[in-house]
């Protein structure tokens, strides 16, 4: 191969298929990769997650064949387990709401996959993400923007890519709408044109829960019984382990008065599940750690931004103050419901992603509850 090809990460879904087709249309040399993330968990039966079943690999392969570039399946179970599944389990055990899709982007697709792709000569990695990357000629930095289609925008899930990672990433779908993508897939006769969207954890099979997956992987939280308390410390009941709860959970508390109570905090150290009423779900401030800034190294002083505290959050005006130690304080103009530790807070100036950070564990200023956050609230959707 004379020029270095672009590696296309292909899930077998319509988005990555069309991303590949757009690049192929520009006569770019391509090499396709599908990541096998979970086969070992499949055991003897035909149990596969939604994103990497043999059917998906077959679909990805048929798209690559049709577009005329080579396609390979990579065994990335070890990396996925280490970089996504284990932290996912640890987050639950520590009472945090995990962010597997974000971690998968930062540590698997644009790190492990990139390593393998570049080892065979690839110059960049393209995915079917809906987001826009643009090089800023003045700063020389690669800026991240929300996608043109606000319903499909996935920039939230990409904030934690480093400058180096953004430089070698390509998102061909950033300026397209989902309808446009489907129409193009049909026009090109791609086998994946009418595949349903994956809406849930990709590594969980229909009919089971993430807890089943963790148990099968030997990552189930060890039981650590503790108390259920209210915000004044009154003991209302007991539980088998904080890992069984999600902040914002309303059902399954086993309390007589559970109807109006929510899980508003989880403290793995004291093994306490804190419950409270709806008003206690709101907070106007929180701290984020491991902050990443995108258009600049660090802002001068505080800045105002629209901050999204989970992927389904539309964003709220806030003042973000970088503390210089890798953390930042966020003060919202209005109290926000459901600020969940473990989730990312991502800062926007209009469409431009300024940066983001990880909402830290329960602190006085940030013991946040939430309404029941079902998995679709924190997952990336294809």
Partner 1 sequence: MRHYLDHNATSPVRDEARHTVAAVYSHPAGNPSSMHAEGRAARALLETARRKVAILAGVPARDVVFTSGGSEAISAALRGVADRTPEGRRRIVVSSIEHSAVLEAARAAGAAGFEVVEVPCGPSGRIDAGAFASNIDGRTALACLQAANNETGVLQPVAEVGAVCGAAGVPFLVDAVQAAGKLALDRDGWNADLLALSAHKLGGPQGAGALIVREGTKLAPLIAGGAQERRRRGGTEALAQLAGFGAAAHAIVQELEAESSRLLSLRDRLESGLRNIAPGVRIHGESVPRLPNTTNAAFPGVSGETLVIALDLAGFAVSTGSACASGAVTPSHVIRAMGFDDEEARGAVRISLGWSTTSEAIDELLAALPQLLARATMARR
- Catalytic: which of 51, 52, 101, 202? 202
**Least CB distance from residue 373 to partner 1, whole Å?**
33
Output Rg (C-alpha) for the chain, integer angstroms.
21
Q: How far is CA 263 from CA 88, 228, 259, 340, 361, in A?
A: 19, 9, 12, 11, 15
What residues between 93 and 152 interact with partner 1 by CB under 8 A? 115-116, 118-121
Nearer to partner 1, 60 or 236 (CB): 60
Which of 1, 235, 240, 269 forms a contact with partner 1 (CB under 8 A)? 1
- Residues 6 or more apart whose CB falls under 8 angstroms from that of 67 comprise 20, 21, 24, 30
Q: How far is CA 279 from CA 59, 116, 264, in A?
A: 48, 49, 10
Q: What is the DSSP letter of 166?
A: H
What residues between 4 and 43 interact with partner 1 by CB under 8 A? 5, 31, 36, 39
- Residues 6 or more apart whose CB falls under 8 angstroms from that of 234 comprise none
Which of 75, 136, 187, 277 forms a contact with partner 1 (CB under 8 A)? 75
Nearer to partner 1, 48 or 171 (CB): 48
51 is catalytic: no
**Least CB distance from residue 118 to partner 1, whole Å?**
5
**Least CB distance from residue 195 to partner 1, whole Å?**
18
Which of 8, 19, 21, 73 forms a contact with partner 1 (CB under 8 A)? 73
366 is catalytic: no
**Least CB distance from residue 156 to partner 1, whole Å?**
29
Classify 316 as helix, strand or coil. Answer: strand
54 makes contact with partner 1 (CB under 8 A): yes
**What φ, ψ does residue 131 adopt, rounded to 5°?**
-170, 165
Burial code of 352-372, b = ≥16 C-beta within 10 A, e = fewer? bbbbbbbbbbbeeebbbbbee
Nearer to partner 1, 205 or 336 (CB): 205
β-pair partners for 238: 227
Number of residues that bind partner 1 (CB under 8 A): 19
6-9 and 30-36: which strand pairing?
parallel
**Least CB distance from residue 79 to partner 1, whole Å?**
12
**Least CB distance from residue 63 to partner 1, whole Å?**
15
Nearer to partner 1, 57 or 171 (CB): 57
- Positive or negative, the CA dihedral 140, 141, 142, 144 is negative
d(CA 158, CA 110): 10
Nearer to partner 1, 203 or 293 (CB): 203
Classify 21 as helix, strand or coil. Answer: helix
Nearer to partner 1, 25 or 58 (CB): 58
**What φ, ψ does residue 84 adopt, rounded to 5°?**
-125, -55
- Catalytic: which of 101, 104, 286, 366? 104
> Which residues are known catalytic residues?
104, 202
What residues make contact with partner 1 under the rule CB under 8 A?
A: 1, 5, 31, 36, 39, 52, 54, 57, 70, 72-75, 115-116, 118-121
């Amino acid at each position: 191969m004379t020029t270095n090809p672009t590696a296309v990460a292909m899930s077998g879904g319509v988005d990555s298929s069309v991303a590949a087709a757009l690049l192929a249309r520009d006569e770019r040399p391509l090499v396709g990769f599908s990541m096998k993330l979970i086969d070992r968990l499949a055991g003897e039966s035909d149990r596969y997650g939604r994103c990497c079943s043999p059917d998906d690999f077959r679909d990805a392969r048929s798209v690559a064949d049709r577009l005329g570039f080579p396609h390979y399946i990579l065994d990335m179970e070890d990396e996925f387990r280490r970089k996504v599944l284990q932290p996912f389990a640890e987050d639950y055990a520590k009472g945090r709401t995990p962010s597997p899709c974000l971690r998968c982007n930062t540590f698997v697709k644009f790190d492990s996959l990139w390593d393998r792709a570049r080892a065979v000569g690839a110059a960049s990695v393209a995915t079917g993400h809906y987001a826009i990357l643009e090089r800023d000629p003045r700063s020389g930095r690669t800026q991240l923007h929300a996608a043109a289609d606000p319903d499909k925008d996935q920039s939230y899930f990409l904030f934690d890519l480093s400058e180096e990672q953004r430089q070698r990433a390509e998102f061909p779908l950033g300026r397209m709408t989902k309808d446009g993508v489907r129409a193009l897939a049909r026009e090109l006769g791609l086998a994946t044109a009418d595949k349903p969207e994956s809406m849930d954890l990709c590594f969980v099979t229909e009919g089971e829960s993430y807890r089943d997956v963790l148990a099968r992987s030997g990552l189930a939280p060890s039981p650590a019984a503790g108390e259920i308390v209210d915000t004044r410390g009154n003991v209302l009941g007991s539980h088998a382990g904080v890992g069984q709860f999600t902040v914002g959970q309303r059902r399954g508390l086993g309390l007589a008065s559970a109807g109006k109570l929510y899980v508003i905090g989880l403290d793995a150290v004291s093994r306490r599940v804190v419950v409270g009423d709806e008003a206690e779900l709101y907070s106007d401030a929180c701290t984020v750690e491991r902050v990443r800034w995108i258009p600049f190294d660090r802002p001068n002083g505080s800045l105002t931004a629209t901050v999204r505290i989970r992927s389904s959050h539309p964003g709220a005006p806030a003042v973000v103050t970088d503390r210089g130690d890798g953390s930042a304080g966020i003060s919202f103009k209005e109290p926000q419901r459901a600020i969940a530790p473990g989730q990312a807070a991502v800062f926007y100036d209009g469409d431009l992603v300024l940066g983001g950070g990880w909402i830290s564990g329960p602190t006085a200023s940030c013991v946040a509850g939430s309404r029941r956050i079902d998995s679709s609230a924190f997952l990336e959707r294809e």
